[in-house]
Amino acid sequence: MGGRIVRDMRVPLLAFLVLFLIRSLAGAVEKPFNFTETPGKLPKEVVPTEYAIRIVPNMDNFTFAGSETVKLNVRSPVYQLVLNALELRIEAASVDGKELPLSEIKTDTEEELLTLTLPSGLAAGDHALMLRFTGKINQQGQGLFYMRYQEHGSGARKVMLGTQFEATDARRFFPCWDEPAFRARFQLTVVVPENWLAVSNMPIESEQKIAGGKEVRFAPTPLMSSYLNVFVAGELDFIESQVGPTQVRVIATKGKAELGRYALKVSAEILKYYNDYFGVPYPLPKLDQIAIPGGFGGAMENWGGITYYESVLLFDPKNSSAQTKQDICEVIAHEMAHMWFGDLVTMAWWDNLWLNEGFASWMGSKCTAHLNPQWEVWLARDLPRDPTRRSGIAKEAAMESDARSTTHPIHQPVATEAEANSAFDDITYKKGQSFLRMLESFLGEDVFRDGIRRYIAAHKYSNTTTADLWNALSDASSKSVREIAAGWTEQPGFPVVNVKRETDGKVRLTQERFTVNFKNAPPLLWQIPLTYSLVGEAAATLLMTDKTATLEKVPADRALKLNVNGAGNYRVQYDEPSWKLLLKTLPKLGVEDRVNLMSDAWALVQAGRAPVSLYFGLVETLPASTDLAEREQIINVLDFMNGLWLDSSEHEKFQRYAQGLLRPTFEALGWASKPDEPANAERLRASLISALGHLDDPEVLASCREHFEKYVADPPSLAPDLRPAVLAVVGRYADEKTWNKLHELGLKTTSIEDKQNYYNALAGASDPKLVKKTLAIALTDELPTSRAIFLVSRVARDSGRPDIAWEFAKTNMKALLTKVDAAGANRYAPSLFAFFSDDSRADELRAYAKKNLSQATAPEVAKVIDEIQFRAEFKKRLAIQIDARIEKKNH
Ligand SMILES: [Zn+2]
């Protein structure tokens, strides 16, 4: 908030100091968890302790009937009970056996509240509330939802049920105190068809046949937050294993459970790792990993019953790619970290969502890297399922968002349900992850783990604020973690450290805020846990607490690298002598340091702090290498520039230059894999095929078509790793006949992964007639709802025709929005503008939002407008600079 107020002023030094003091104090304001002081809408006088809930779904009309008894602890006398309910019809209510007149039952749809007025009041002490209600079963992942799918093998059309409650949708399933600090025990009973498997957080306690199916009662949960409840049911199969006292299962639709072998194996490995890391063993008797074929797009850490979109859990050794395998491992590791960080210990309120998500992202990556060192996890390119989110190394994606005027602190106030749902963004997840990684490397791995163990032990079955985590880490490290952390969690943005060589071996370091497309940003100061090394020597650390610092005794002829292994969440800008020395020592640097230099150089170009020649000069100097992370960094940049210039005169010239940069690596690798090649070679091959194909490389295009013909006749002829790339290139240049073939293949397969590959290929088709054909699919039920809506975003990104995609979306917005889940609702419409680089589109979005969108979408609208303006400006700036560079290279 401070950022906006002063953004258009020059800030004199005094104001800067005051601002800094205020910010430091703001950091001190947050206190350890205290129930009565926790934000939220619900009064804290009444605390539910136990829920017994019974739900009877009606699959003919997609409604359900429910009843519940809630044991209440009333802390001081009240005349009203206020709890959450949404899209539920309350049919009856009684308190301590006394029926309330219907006139005393009020539902407020706007505030999502249910208020029961008690004529004679309720004394302090224990009471029981009984409610009867009905609700609806949605088709998108909000509350209870249904999914239609084709059964594996038979191809029969089936339907099943699932739930998605985070952030604030448990209240669509049963009336409840739906705020994370109201922990309670939940016992669920459901009625389902007899041939269905029903799954919830806890094991089944009893099961009995009744008219119309069977009644299944689950064991009560431990004390937990309402959003962690889960219910999934359908014609399901499972495979299982045992890890100590814990039963681990992978559950999928009939015929697919065997594809859960890999997930079952890594779940067991991860469980052992976390049992040790957290120092408190996994507390529930079972852990289910549930694959669901639609409804929502990601994964959800319901305690004991984690739900996954099928393609991030199931792995087919014959047909799945190595990328899929790595995604599965990372997503499982992330969700399982939540079993402790999120479920056993839960953030008190949504303003601290980063505690859950930043931590699980960091822990998930750390665990995945530990189990699979060959994957280079910290450098891996993150390809979000939502195509409008930034791809690239997780840390880089967060820093790109965080450099803009539209960023926010990790710790941000949340007042409404819409704000809670908007908090699930790159800053919360990826900046949180990146900051924790930097903090861990500064405190040391063992000290950090010791702090986490103290934290979990002290707060299990309870809630916390960020202050509780800092206290535990301070106790373990004897360092003032809160002071270091405040700058990173309580204020927006991050710093760039300028490196300047002076005389007598002195190197002067100066920090300032790093921004992109953000003039007159308020200056801020950070405590930076710096790392540095003379290339070839061991790393040293320095906590930079002031605006400047000096390194001594740095020989004038030795290269100095800051941010060792790129583990820190800051940029570095070197002066010319330092940069030249680094360029000379590139072959001696490890891949993490090289990728870090490339990422920083590209960011400096974006920020207008350096000409584009800084980046391409570095790329052209790099030693020939087939390292995946390094080449993918280049591919990401070229891909971005290619998209920027699709309709301009520079396009062809740029494409030839870009092909020239990538071709040598592709020629060294060739099409066919070799037995002795490095672990990541096949994935790099796929990335290069896709990148060169999109840069209109005629040879690659011809080979892709050839491979596609063979693949259609004989699928095993094309390696699973190469399929997405080959299909995408073929799709991009498809004529009607090819489009129809891809569509036919997509319709036929029951593998979600294959299906996704085919529809992604269709989304890339650039012929306007075919672009329209692809878009029309989004309105059918060919794809699960969460994928159908992303199809439009994909077309906007991959076809080169965001204009046609937007026209389509505008016309069909109402139908599309019925397929969007809670987390996506605020950003869907604005996100479709993210691929325009023409200022007039910013005006169009502004006008559209004013007329059609709710206030809750305002932050997303602002982000996308900023993105369009940045692209428009950057495009002009790059055109001039790259022209000069290409001319120079051609001479
Ligand atoms: Zn998470």
Which of 209-213, 451-455, 825-829 has the weakest average pLDDT?
825-829
Residue 484 vs residues 438, 525, 544, 669: alpha-carbon distances, Å: 11, 11, 10, 46
Q: Report how far ligand 1's centroid is from the alpha carbon of 423 (Å).
A: 12
List, for residues 396-411, the tens digit of each pLDDT value. 989 999 999 999 999 8
Which pLDDT band holds residue 25 (cuts at 50, 70, 90)? Answer: very low
Most confident of 384-393, 739-748, 811-820: 739-748
Q: Is 779 helix (H, G, I), strand (E, B) or coil?
A: coil
CB neighbours of 663 closer than 8 A, spacing ≥ 6?
A: 692, 697
Residue 510 vs residues 504, 549, 571: alpha-carbon distances, Å: 18, 7, 12
Alpha helices in 478-611 (DSSP H): 481-489, 576-584, 591-606
Residue 803 vs residues 260, 729, 733: alpha-carbon distances, Å: 40, 21, 19
Q: Provide the annotated active-site residues.
A: 335
Q: Report how far ligand 1's centroid is from the alpha carbon of 434 (Å).
A: 15
Q: Report how far ligand 1's centroid is from the alpha carbon of 335 (Å).
A: 6
9 pLDDT exceeds 80?
no
Name the pTM for this structure: 0.90
Q: Report how far ligand 1's centroid is from the alpha carbon of 142 (Å).
A: 17
5 pLDDT exceeds 70?
no
Rounded mean pLDDT, 856-880? 92
68 bridge partner residues: 53, 131
Q: Report how far ligand 1's centroid is from the alpha carbon of 331 (Å).
A: 9
Q: Report how far ligand 1's centroid is from the alpha carbon of 299 (Å).
A: 8
Among residues 584, 592, 577, 438, the alpha carbon closest in space to that of 507 is found at 577
**Average pLDDT, whole number, for the chain?**
92
Q: Report how far ligand 1's centroid is from the alpha carbon of 632 (Å).
A: 26
Contact (CB, 8 A) for 43 and 82: yes
Q: Report how far ligand 1's centroid is from the alpha carbon of 155 (Å).
A: 33
Which pLDDT band holds residue 29 (cuts at 50, 70, 90)? Answer: low
CB neighbours of 821 closer than 8 A, spacing ≥ 6?
A: 140, 141, 142, 164, 295, 296, 297, 786
List, for residues 137-166, the tens digit of each pLDDT value. 998 889 999 999 989 888 899 999 999 999
Q: Which residue has the tokens 């163990």?
A: 453
pLDDT at position 725 is 95
Q: Report how far ligand 1's centroid is from the alpha carbon of 337 (Å).
A: 8
Q: Which two tokens stand for residue 738?
A: 């090819």
pLDDT at position 889 is 67
Rounded mean pLDDT, 543-560? 96
Which pLDDT band holds residue 17 (cuts at 50, 70, 90)? Answer: very low
Contact (CB, 8 A) for 459 and 534: no
Residue 668 burial (10 A CB sphere; 0-12, 13-18, 19+): exposed
Q: Report how far ligand 1's centroid is from the alpha carbon of 63 (Å).
A: 29
For the chain, the first-to-last Cα distance in angstroms comes to 51
DSSP string computed for 227-267? GG--EEEESEEEEEEEETTEEEEEEEETT-GGGGHHHHHHH
- The count of other CB atoms within 10 Å of the CB of residue 588 is 12
209 bridge partner residues: 214
Which has the higher per-residue pLDDT, 827 or 685?
A: 685
List, for residues 872-885, the tens digit of each pLDDT value. 999 999 888 887 77
- The count of other CB atoms within 10 Å of the CB of residue 736 is 12
Rounded mean pLDDT, 727-749? 96
572 bridge partner residues: 497
Gap between the Cα atoms of 687 and 261, Å rounded: 27
Q: Which residue has the tokens 């699980």?
A: 360
Gap between the Cα atoms of 704 and 697, Å rounded: 11
Gap between the Cα atoms of 449 and 439, Å rounded: 12
DSSP string computed for 39-90? --SS-SSEEEEEEEEEEEEETTTTEEEEEEEEEEEESS-EEEEEEE-SSEEE
CB neighbours of 122 closer than 8 A, spacing ≥ 6?
A: 46, 74, 77, 78, 79, 81, 95
Number of helices followed by number of strands (H, E) in the chain:
30, 31
Among residues 668, 677, 736, 735, the alpha carbon closest in space to that of 701 is found at 735
Which of 116-120, 417-421, 455-459, 714-718 has the weakest average pLDDT?
417-421
Q: Report how far ligand 1's centroid is from the alpha carbon of 417 (Å).
A: 18
Which contacts qualify for 9-16: CB closer than 8 Å, 24 or more apart?
A: 9/520, 10/520, 11/520, 11/522, 11/523, 16/523
422 pLDDT exceeds 90?
no
Contact (CB, 8 A) for 361 and 430: yes
463 pLDDT exceeds 90?
yes
Q: Report how far ligand 1's centroid is from the alpha carbon of 361 (Å).
A: 7
pLDDT at position 884 is 76
Contact (CB, 8 A) for 597 and 634: no
Which of 54-63, 646-655, 687-696 has the weakest average pLDDT?
646-655
Pairing verdict, β 213-218 and 246-253 = unpaired
Gap between the Cα atoms of 234 and 1, Å rounded: 47
689 pLDDT exceeds 90?
yes
